[in-house]
Chain A
Amino acid sequence: MNPKTTNKIAIGLIYTFVAIVVAILISLIGYILVTGVPHISWHFLTSKSQSFLSGGGIRDQLFNSIYLLFLTLCLSFPIALGSGIYLAEYAPKNWITEVIRTTIEVLSSLPSVVVGLFCYLLFVVQMHIGFSILSGAIALTFFNLPLLTRNIENSLRSVSHLQREAGLSLGLSQWKTITGIILPAAVPGIITGIILSAGRVFGEAAALIYTAGQSASIIDYTNWNIFSSSSFLNPMRPAETLAVHIWKVNSEGITPDANLVSSGSSAVLIILILLFNLLAHWIGNRLYRKMTSNF
């Protein structure tokens, strides 16, 4: 076979594979949007869910998903940032840090049901936190940490070592070089990591069933007292997220419009993830420009 034909065959194959991936993606998202979007209405987004009657909304689930993401990032980002900086900049090359890296990788591939049950036993039962957003956020932090740590480590590593030398040669300490020069240059990569982990938080159901619970408790959006049990900000209240709601409506929903609610919720979830991606990119770009003035 001459090189030209080989090349043509290879390119043809690659195009076919790409086409398959794109087709699967488009048909999935298209199906969800086509079946779900017609059910989305202002009423659907702003009213509470119903257990027996039709016409239920997803107001609380929607808010819970966003709030859970916020809490999870508050818990996991600082820890991941610290360990990412350690692994990328300070960790000596020896078997201990290799063990740490392997452990992180194993942690990221744990089945979510296992982590969910573990957190259920430890936090919900043993530590008496109960079904709550906080327990859910801790469970999700377990998933998030490896992903974020690895991502931050790689983003920092991808900044040229010439930049580190430049900082050190100007008499700056390693810490000042990292925080002032390396970290700002790594912002775009870190934002990508946050987006990936956010997708996981929005989509996670199995681990949350055992930790954040499946009940939509009555919450009051005018009560800003974080310690009040009816406040929407109280992290100690049980909270059903969108993904859990979809699972629940599909598996044991008895409302007449269960199918519609589940389709609508799925569409909202996808749109939510999309919006979050755009928002995170926008914020990330602004942050990067502000820190590096790179236009």
Chain B
Amino acid sequence: MKKYNLDESFIYKFDNEKAIVTKSVNVFYGDHQSIFNVNLAFPRFSITALIGSSGSGKSTFLRSLNRMNDSIANVDGNIMYRDVDINDKKVNVYEVRKQIGMVFQRPNPFAKTIRDNITFALKKHGIKDKEELNERVESSLKEAALWDEVKDKLDKSALSLSGGQAQRLCIARTIAMKPDILLLDEPASALDPISTAKIEETLKNLKSKYTIIIVTHNMQQASRVSDYTAFFHSGHVLEFDKTAKIFTTPKIQATEDYISGNFG
């Protein structure tokens, strides 16, 4: 594998409103450091793609943003969300995850009805009103572009859905919580091209209301859906810029090699 200078990076600072800002974030698994000093500011109401090869740390970084790495890894540094450092151990982590939702690589619907998949967490968070719950089910399924396919079988098991439908249900379940930020960890990597296209379409529609950060292996996907792109390599962010710029005129050699497929 070619050695790149990890100290040389190009992180563009945008003036837009920021949804979440990380300041010198380092992540350690035991003694092993897998994320090095990441300073990124994610613009609001846009889609940012995190790209990089396997093991570059992009998923680890993403999971740090809503504290899903608690009890797995040690996360150092500040993660500023609405002027609060959510990486502070004193912060209510359940409230953080309500505001910053996450969708995972493999669809993981609960073994419950489609309706209960969405209402379960809402009920546990104290929403008891039937009408409110029904309204949330309908609106979230519509936002996730799943409503037409499941509206007649809301009380059937979610396990009967196809992979693509299940993944959109997981997105619906997350946005039913009315979060601010959506984190997606390779949400389409286990899906077929048609389902993938539907997910991408859904994401584009969602960015008017949510800030979306998506990890992806698929560079076409990154260039299709995202507004901004961060390139991860060996735990370092080497480049962060508008997606169009990253894919046409990358400033860093490693980024250019990666997007042109001359990597490693």
7 closest A-B pairs (Cβ-Cβ)?
A162-B108, A170-B121, A171-B98, A171-B97, A169-B102, A292-B111, A293-B113
> Complex formed: what's the CA distance from A289 to B102 in Å?
28
Tell me the residues in window 170-194 of chain B with beta carbons closer than 8 Å to chain A beta carbons. Answer: 170, 173-174, 177
Q: How far is the CB of A90 from chain B (nearest CB, A)?
A: 11
Q: Report Cα–Cα, A94/B125, bound state, in Å.
A: 34
- A contact patch SS: helix
Q: Interface size (B, Cβ < 8 Å)?
A: 30
Q: Which of A152-202 contact B (CB under 8 A)?
A: 160, 162-163, 165-173, 176, 180-181, 184-185
Does B108 contact A165, Cβ atoms closer than 8 Å?
Answer: yes
Q: Quick check: is B201 within 8 A (CB to CB) of the other chain?
A: no
Contact A173 to B94, CB < 8 A, known contacts A163-B108, A168-B68: yes
Known contacts A171-B98, A294-B159; A160/B108 CB under 8 A:
yes
Cross-chain contact of B124 among A160, A163, A180, A295 (Cβ < 8 A)? A180
For the complex with contacts A169-B97, A173-B94, 18 further pairs of A-B residues with Cβ separation under 8 Å are A162-B106, A162-B108, A163-B110, A165-B104, A166-B104, A166-B110, A166-B170, A166-B173, A168-B68, A168-B97, A169-B102, A169-B104, A170-B97, A170-B121, A171-B94, A184-B111, A292-B111, A293-B155
Question: Which single residue of chain B is at the shortest CB-CB distance from A176?
Answer: B124
Interface string of B146-170 (1 = CB under 8 A from A): 0000000001110100000000001
**B157 / chain A contacts, CB cutoff of 8 Å:** 292-295
- Interface CB pairs A-B, < 8 A, 17: A165-B104, A165-B108, A166-B109, A169-B68, A169-B102, A170-B98, A170-B121, A170-B177, A171-B95, A172-B121, A173-B94, A181-B110, A184-B111, A292-B112, A293-B116, A293-B155, A295-B156
B66 at the interface (CB under 8 A from A): yes
Choose one: A166, A172, A173, A184; the contact of B108 (CB below 8 Å): A166
Complex: A279 Cα to B199 Cα, angstroms: 45
Question: CB-CB < 8 A to B102: which residues of A?
Answer: 169
Q: Does B43 contact A (CB under 8 A)?
A: no
Task: Check A170 against B155 for contact (C-beta < 8 Å).
Answer: no
Which B-chain residue is minimally distant from A184 (CB atoms)? B111
Interface residues of B in 101-138 (CB under 8 A from A): 101-102, 104, 106, 108-113, 116, 120-121, 124-125
Inter-subunit contact B125/A165 (CB<8 Å) = no
Q: Which residue of A lies closest to B98 (CB)?
A: A171
Assembly CA distance A180 to B124 (angstroms): 9
Do B177 and A171 touch across chains, with their CB atoms under 8 A apart? yes
Give bound CA distance, A126 to B257, whole Å.
80
The majority secondary structure among interface residues of chain B is mixed
Which B positions have Cβ atoms within 8 angstroms of A? 66, 68, 94-98, 101-102, 104, 106, 108-113, 116, 120-121, 124-125, 155-157, 159, 170, 173-174, 177
- Expressed in whole angstroms, the Cα–Cα distance for A292 and B108 within the complex equals 14
Q: List A residues at the B interface (Cβ < 8 Å).
A: 160, 162-163, 165-173, 176, 180-181, 184-185, 292-295
Alpha-carbon gap, A141 to B241, bound state (A):
65
Least Cβ–Cβ distance between A286 and chain B, in angstroms: 15
Q: Are B111 and A170 neighbours in the complex by a CB distance under 8 Å?
A: no
Taken together as a complex, chains A and B put the C-alpha atoms of A180 and B104 apart, in Å, by 20
Residues from chain B with Cβ under 8 Å of A165 in the complex: 68, 104, 108
Which of B111, B116, B124 has most A Cβ within 10 Å?
Answer: B111
Q: Select from chain B the residue with minimum beta-carbon distance to A169.
A: B102
| CA A168 to CA B177, docked complex, whole Å | 13
Q: Separation in Å of the B62 CB from the closest CB of chain A?
A: 11
Establish whether residues B121 and A171, one from each chain, have CB atoms under 8 Å apart when the complex forms.
yes
A-chain residues with CB within 8 Å of residue B155 when the two chains form the complex? 293
Given A169-B174, A170-B174 in contact, is the A293-B112 Cβ separation under 8 Å? yes
Q: Which residues of chain B have C-beta atoms less than 8 A from A170's C-beta?
A: 97-98, 101, 121, 173-174, 177
A156 to chain B, nearest CB (A): 14
Q: Which residue from chain B places its CB closest to the CB of A173 in the assembled complex?
A: B94
Residue numbers in A under 8 Å from B98 (CB-CB)? 170-171
Docked CA distance A173–B110 (Å):
16
Tell me the complex Cα distance, A6–B101, Å. Answer: 55
Cβ-closest chain A residue relative to B97: A171
Docked CA distance A167–B97 (Å) = 10
Complex Cα–Cα for A171 and B68 (A): 10
**B104 near A172: Cβ-Cβ < 8 Å:** no
Bound Cα distance from A169 to B111, whole angstroms: 16
Q: Min CB distance, B200 to chain A, in Å?
A: 21
Cα–Cα, bound, A176→B155 (Å) = 22
Min CB distance, B242 to chain A, in Å? Answer: 29
* B111 CB, nearest partner CB in chain A, Å: 4
